[in-house]
Amino acid sequence: MEISRDIKYIGVNDHRGELFEGQYVVPNGMAYNSYVILDDKIAVMDTVDVNFTQEWLTKLELVLCGRKPDYLIVQHMEPDHSASVAVFMECYPEAVIVASAKAFAMMKNFFGKDYAERRIVVADGSIFTLGKHELTFFTAMMVHWPEVIVTYDAADKVLFSADAFGKFGALDREDDWVSEARRYYIGIVGRYGQQVQSLLHKLAGCDIQRICPLHGPVLSDNLGYYIGLYQTWAAYEPEKSGVVIAYATIYGNTRKAAELLADKLRERGCEVVVHDLARCDMHQAVADAFCYDRLVLASSTYNADVFPFMKAFIQHLTERQFQNRRIGLMENGSWAPLSSRVMRKMLENSKNLTFADTVVKIFSAVKEENVAEIEALAAELV
């Protein structure tokens, strides 16, 4: 793939793994992206996962056409991007690594060496020239590791964005960019909204015409749309008007209440997404909770607490700085419904949450009085 006359794509597609980072379901695989800038000097932008080292080196050799790379720029040390660094340095003994100081410390941890004799340390605002391609480095601390840098090429107006603007899914599969990028961002980067906003502020002065992330496709059209999404996600603001209903049920009675509420909301013209937390993709449910402006939590009481899947769901939300939403609560218990109180307690440190006055309280099964409460909650949420 040609990004520009001088920039070539040498990434790989991974369809071997069912889970990314040991937890995220990736039915369409993953792309591990790497790029080469061909100039008076040649720079390789990041490596790939260890399972694809030889495929990647073959692609690199084809692009080089007999030349040798001068630099390996390491933007991010997570193993899906850095695992092939040591092999590359053995194959090209005259190459020099360009990375942040923190990245070299991590190389010592991963590879037993920090390449002290073959390295250039860059910091925020460092400028590096390959010939006509002038590269400016920006630190991107905690987007989403502390050593991360991103790289702006002024000649071709390309931003090499590390994990920012990435998504789940290999490049040889078709899927919805927004859905998979949102799930990726909320799951992996979501906790670090302030740091993402800081990076976007640093990049505001750059004339960016292409974004080359380490996962997912190169972005070149309507970049304002993608950057706008990142600004929304980083500010923890909703994208859409609608209600997510997340429920955790034992014998199905809480599910019936959740489904009845969904019906009542839809009758009022509201968009509704329903997740059974014991059976759904938990990370998709979390992403949807960040996408929409209202969330209903419905849980059975369990050991004077909430059902474990609901506890895990709320923990995922709070770990990622969930805020700026309207919340409805539904609880169930055969003798002492307590889950609404527990769920509210778990959310007490989340910013700018507004709770509906109506709390649906079910004793074992949905009864007429619960139907009236569900009607009231639906009216209140709309």
Domains of the chain with CATH codes: 7-234 (3.60.15.10), 242-381 (3.40.50.360)
* Residue 382 binned pLDDT confidence (cut-offs 50, 70, 90): very high
For 272, the token pair is 């509704």
2 exposure class (CB count in 10 Å sphere: 0-12, 13-18, 19+): exposed
Average pLDDT over residues 44-52: 97
31, 13 Cβ separation under 8 angstroms: yes
Residue 198 contacts by C-beta under 8 Å, 6 or more apart in sequence? Answer: none
Whole-angstrom distance, CA of residue 134 vs CA of residue 26: 36
Q: Is the pLDDT of residue 17 over 90?
A: no
154, 136 Cβ separation under 8 angstroms: yes
Prior bond of 15 cis (ω within 30°): no
Is 107 or 18 the better-scoring residue by pLDDT? 107
DSSP H helical ranges for the chain: 53-64, 79-82, 85-91, 101-111, 177-184, 193-203, 223-234, 253-267, 282-291, 308-319, 339-346, 368-381
Residue in this structure with the two tokens 């996600």, named with its chain if needed: 233
pLDDT number for residue 226: 97
pLDDT number for residue 345: 97
Share of the chain above pLDDT 70, in %: 100
Number of helices (H) and strands (E) in the chain: give both, helices first. Answer: 12, 21
Share of the chain above pLDDT 90, in %: 98
Residue 323 CB: number of other CB atoms within 10 A?
A: 18
In 3D, which of 378, 300, 279, 287 has the Cα closest to residue 343?
Answer: 300
* Residue 109 binned pLDDT confidence (cut-offs 50, 70, 90): very high
In 3D, which of 172, 154, 212 has the Cα closest to residue 33?
Answer: 212
β-strands 35-38, 42-45 pairing: antiparallel
152, 136 Cβ separation under 8 angstroms: yes
Q: Is the pLDDT of residue 168 over 90?
A: yes
pLDDT number for residue 137: 98
249, 266 Cβ separation under 8 angstroms: no
pLDDT number for residue 1: 83
Sign of CA dihedral 330, 334, 338, 343: negative
pLDDT number for residue 228: 97
Mean pLDDT score of the chain: 97
pLDDT number for residue 6: 97
89, 115 Cβ separation under 8 angstroms: yes
pLDDT tens track for 308-354: 999 999 999 999 999 999 999 999 999 888 999 999 999 999 999 99
* Residue 4 binned pLDDT confidence (cut-offs 50, 70, 90): very high
DSSP 19-85: EETTTEE-TT-EEE--EEEESSSEEEE----GGGHHHHHHHHHHHHTT----EEE----SHHHHTTH
* Residue 73 binned pLDDT confidence (cut-offs 50, 70, 90): very high
Residue 128 CB: number of other CB atoms within 10 A?
A: 17
293, 325 Cβ separation under 8 angstroms: yes
Residue 303 contacts by C-beta under 8 Å, 6 or more apart in sequence? Answer: none
Strand partners for 7:
37
Length of the chain: 382
Residue 325 contacts by C-beta under 8 Å, 6 or more apart in sequence? Answer: 238, 289, 293, 294, 295, 352, 353, 354
Average pLDDT over residues 160-174: 97
pLDDT number for residue 8: 98
pLDDT number for residue 336: 87
Q: Is the pLDDT of residue 18 over 90?
A: no
